[in-house]
Amino acid sequence: MFLKKIFNKHNGQGQLFWALVESVRTARGPRHKIVSSLGYMDEAGRLGIVQAVEGTRPRQELLFPEPEPAVTPEWVEIDVKNVRTENSRRFGDVWLAIELIKKLGLDEAIEQAMPKTHPKISWGLLAQVLIIGRFCEPSSELYLAEQFYGESAMAELLGIPEEDIYDNRLYRALTHLVKHKDSLQQHLKNRLGDLFQISYELLLYDVTSTYFEGVAARNPQAQYGYSRDSRPDCKQVCIGLVVTKEAMPLGYERFEGNRHDSKTAKEIITKMESLYGTADRIWIMDRGMVSKALLAFLAQGNRQYIIGAPKSQLKKFEQYLLHPTWQRVHDGLDVQLCPSPDGEEREVFILCQSQARRTKERAMHDRFIGRFEQELQKVQKSCQSGRIKSMHDIGARIGRLRERYPRASALIETVSTERDGKIDLRWTIRNKEDDWSRLSEGCYLLRTNIKDWTAEDLWKAYIQLTDAEEAFRIQKQDLKLRPIWHQREDRVDAHILVCFLAFVLWKCLEQMCKQAGLGNEPRTIVEEIRKLNVVDVVLPTRSGQEIRLRCVSKPEKHLAMLLQKLNLHPPAKLMRKRNL
């Protein structure tokens, strides 16, 4: 830092004053950045300010030549009573997001991918604004431009003045960013593999949906379909996500809102192979993906897979449930390998029984049986009062109840007889352990074409599919993927891409926590570091001048320890950047 005389013309009159400035490097060359405006002072006062500033930091080199012997430095006296702080801004999580972007090399990848035009602000920087905003304070582009950007330290960290960020500029950045989705995914795959030794032999695939607020008339992919968000009244799109066994995202695709899961798998596999090659990989999917067309596609390309089988196929394995040869995986979970019931030698099935799942399904059966009985009691009263007069009517009533409570239907037997002109309704509940509904409680089925793995290894690989489900929870809850307010198709694609990139930052932090021995839950880190702010510390002098320092709040002891383990070092002071 050094002092500089600045000549300013105001109301036709020239004014000369001193400013404390710093030389910084920018994309357009070295620039002088004003740290504090000090007003006019003589040589002695100037030297006093220099010594006061230099006294607050390690002295590495002189900011000014040694003063001539004739000049006596003057120390500046601070008016302690009037020391104050101003201009407090949110700093911690914004700075963290920028550090993660740099660690992943995402800033350089975006700059290289985005158009090489020369707008006032580069599209790459605007894309970073969108990603940081989604990571720190997920909301609309309008909220980001009008509120969060000005309340955070992004303007100083990125060098973009607050007045240059507005919603239309961010919307245009979205339009440019989405065109480079594939290249950014490829960059992140390579970078994550180098940083965290990620393995890509085992790939987990799952599908979720996210709904729209509005009619989305200009988006043909917005359709009504099965809603995982319990919003069947809203149009939606489906998102297929591929993650590794470490739960690191590899890529995603967007589908129509009414597309069945089984019709997305072939497309996503083809897309991933076009991006990353056709190396030997094992695909893991849940039972909603199973179809004859998919199995034929996988077999045609000699692709390996572990897929959940529909529960309707359990009946074919009844003999293995009656005479089990279980292999214990852990307490409460048993598995056994079974040959294909159709005689297919290329496939084997894994029969699994979970005690926790059995307890849950039994409780569900009991609850539905209770509701079924309550309805049967109402029908019985109607029979006794004479409101139901024919066997046909009572058969229709009971048939509707069986449709309403299918899980309890197989466990309840009803008998209807006609006596003295009235219908007599009786029922019994079957609770024998050899009844199929009871026998199959807690059981599920997997199918695979991997022959050289044990049943335990196959189950452990399949159960990692929960990592893909957790990824959707993070995107929907922490990064606010839903609901979608955009109506144009390209803006919707860009919104999902920004959420994906913010999710990669989240998973990068999670891997850093794992490497540092801090577990695999980064939420605590984000919540704690969010408490760091940046403020202007104003030091009034006795001579009427003010020294203004932009300081970052000091981390608490426990946070400092976490940051040290993560090798993250927030700056003590902040100098304003300008990239314009």
310-357: pLDDT as tens digits: 988 998 998 988 888 899 998 889 999 999 988 878 899 999 999 999
In angstroms, the CA 550 to CA 574 distance is: 5
Q: Is the pLDDT of residue 547 over 70?
A: yes
Residues 351 and 437 in one domain: yes
Mean pLDDT of 454-481: 86
Can you state the angle between helices 265-276 and 292-300, rounded to 10 degrees? 20
Q: Do 440 and 321 meet the contact criterion of CB atoms below 8 Å apart? A: yes
Q: pLDDT grade, residue 6 (50/70/90)?
A: low
- Residues 70 and 120 reside in one and the same domain: no
User: Are residues 350 and 391 both part of a single domain?
Assistant: yes
Residue 303 placed within a domain: no
Q: How confident is the model at residue 10 (pLDDT cuts 50, 70, 90)?
A: low
pLDDT at 28 over 70: no
Which pLDDT score is estimated for 9? 63
Contact between residue 475 and residue 211 where contact means Cβ atoms under 8 Å apart: no
Helix (H, G, I), strand (E, B) or coil at 520: coil
Strand bridging mode 333-339 / 546-552:
unpaired
470 within some domain: no
Name which of 215-219, 303-307, 355-359 the model is least confident about. Answer: 215-219
Query: Residues with Cβ < 8 Å from 121, sequence gap 6 or more?
Result: 160, 164, 169, 579, 580
Average pLDDT over residues 546-558: 88
- Does residue 201 belong to any structural domain of this protein? no
Q: Which of 422, 452, 482 is the last residue of a domain?
A: 452
- Average pLDDT of the residues of the chain: 85
Residue that finishes a domain, picked among 17, 47, 76: 76
Residue 282 lies in a domain: no
Q: Has residue 210 been placed in a domain?
A: no
**Per-residue pLDDT, 200:** 87
Q: Which of 76, 107, 133 is the last residue of a domain?
A: 76
Average pLDDT over residues 291-295: 90
pLDDT at 25: 67
pLDDT score, position 503: 92
Q: How far apart are CA 438 and CA 281, in angstroms?
A: 37
Note whether 204 and 465 are within 8 A (CB). Answer: yes
Instruction: Please give the pLDDT value at position 215.
Output: 86
- Flag whether 195 is in a domain: no
Question: Average pLDDT in the 509-514 region?
Answer: 91
Asked if residue 191 belongs to a domain, the reply is: no
Instruction: Indicate if 352 and 424 belong to the same structural domain.
Output: yes
- The answer on pLDDT for 242 being more than 60 is yes
Query: Residue 438's pLDDT is what?
Result: 83
Q: What's at 502, amino acid-wise?
A: A
> Is the per-residue pLDDT at 376 higher than 50?
yes
Confidence of residue 35 (pLDDT cuts 50, 70, 90): low
Residue 342 belongs to domain spanning: 311-452
Burial class from Cβ neighbours inside 10 Å (0-12, 13-18, 19+) for residue 393 reads middle
Q: List 484's β-bridge partners, or say none.
A: 212
Task: Supply the pLDDT for residue 180.
Answer: 94
Read off the pLDDT band of 64 (50, 70, 90).
very low
The maximal CA–CA distance of the chain, rounded, in angstroms, is 129
Res 150: pLDDT: 92
Asked if residue 533 belongs to a domain, the reply is: yes
pTM (predicted TM-score)? 0.78
Closest to 450 (Cα-Cα) out of 349, 351, 353? 349
The residue-averaged pLDDT of 253-264 equals 92
Q: What distance in Å separates the CA atoms of residue 46 and residue 144, rounded to the nearest whole number?
A: 41
Reading the block at residue 127, the tokens are: 């894309």
Q: How many domains does the structure of the chain reveal?
A: 3
Rounded to an integer, the average pLDDT of 235-263 is 92
